[in-house]
Structure 1
Amino acid sequence: MDIAYIIAEERIRQAIKDGDFDKLPGEGKPLKLEDLSHIPEELRQAYRMLKNANMISDEQELKRDMATIEELISICTDANEEQRLTEMLTEKRLRFEQLVDKKKMTSSAAYRTYQNKIYSKFFY
């Protein structure tokens, strides 16, 4: 074991002894685990750090997911798998539209001007 590990473990034990972990929000509840299977293993920690720092928005994540699903649909040969992917894409599109509506992006004049270009870029 290296010295950093030993120091970290000792500080954790001391915090437990001092009661620093008592009555924290979410105590006794299961953790909400994210499905990060779409992210390569070597990039997952960096992704988590960026997401926790609010550097990756839900919209960016949905756009990336939609692009990935569209690419998978274009190369899919199995009809059942293509149907499943199409359903996933529809769900992602609906969630994206809800986020856009929630932020009231559609009310700006600039958005209305470029709406067709935006929709063709994201959904076709």
Structure 2
Amino acid sequence: MSMFSRLAEQKIEEAVRNGEFDNSAYAGKPLPVDDLSHIPEDLRMSYRMLKNAGFVPEEVSLRKECVRLFDLMNACSSEGEKEQHKKLFNEKSLRLQMLMEKRGLGTSGAFLEYESQIKDRLT
């Protein structure tokens, strides 16, 4: 065991003795499974770090932006404002479509099978 591992274990044991973990959300329960088996092993740590930092893939943020712009477009009373939102919506939609084609996400069997469920979840 390395020096850092031993130091980490000592700190954890000390925190347990002091009761610092008694009121955690998962006290007495198993931790949720973070399944990254679909990601190559050498990229898993970086994906986990990005996920924990709140970063999402570009296609997810573009989809959310499209949903937001669509809602704004439908809520506008002025025609000029509606046209502005429609132009932005079209730009973002085109960018999303190009990104999906580039990554092969729009043509994969899994995506085609679950596309409607994904769209329902995002809208």
1:72 aligns with 2:120: no
Alignment of 1:1-124 (within 5 A): 1-56=1-56, 59-60=60-61, 68-73=104-109, 86-96=112-122, 98=123
Structure 1 pair 44–59 and aligned structure 2 pair: CA distance change class (3 A): same
CA RMSD of the aligned region, Å?
A: 3.1
Gaps of 5+ in 2: 64-95
Unaligned runs of 5+ in 1: 74-83, 99-124
Following superposition, the deviation at residue 93 of structure 1 comes to 2.6
- Please say which of residues 34-43 and 64-73 is displaced more in the overlay: 64-73
Q: What's the offset of the Cα at 1:47? A: 0.9
| C-alpha spacing 1:60/1:7, structure 2 compared with 1 (3 Å) | same
Q: Distance in 1 between matches of 2:115 and 2:2?
A: 47
Runs of 4+ in structure 1 off by over 6 angstroms are: 61-66
Q: Give the stretch that moved more between structures: 5-14 or 36-45.
A: 36-45
How far apart, CA to CA, are the structure 1 residues paired with 2:114 and 2:105?
8
TM-score of the superposed pair, with normalisation by structure 2: 0.54
Distance in 2 of aligned mates of 1:61 and 1:24: 34
Distance 1:18 1:38, change over 3 A: same
- In structure 2, relative to structure 1, the CA distance for the partners of 1:47 and 1:69 (3 Å cut) is same
Q: Secondary structure at the match of 1:29?
A: coil
Name the CA shift for 1:43/1:65 in 2 (closer, same or farther; >3 Å): farther
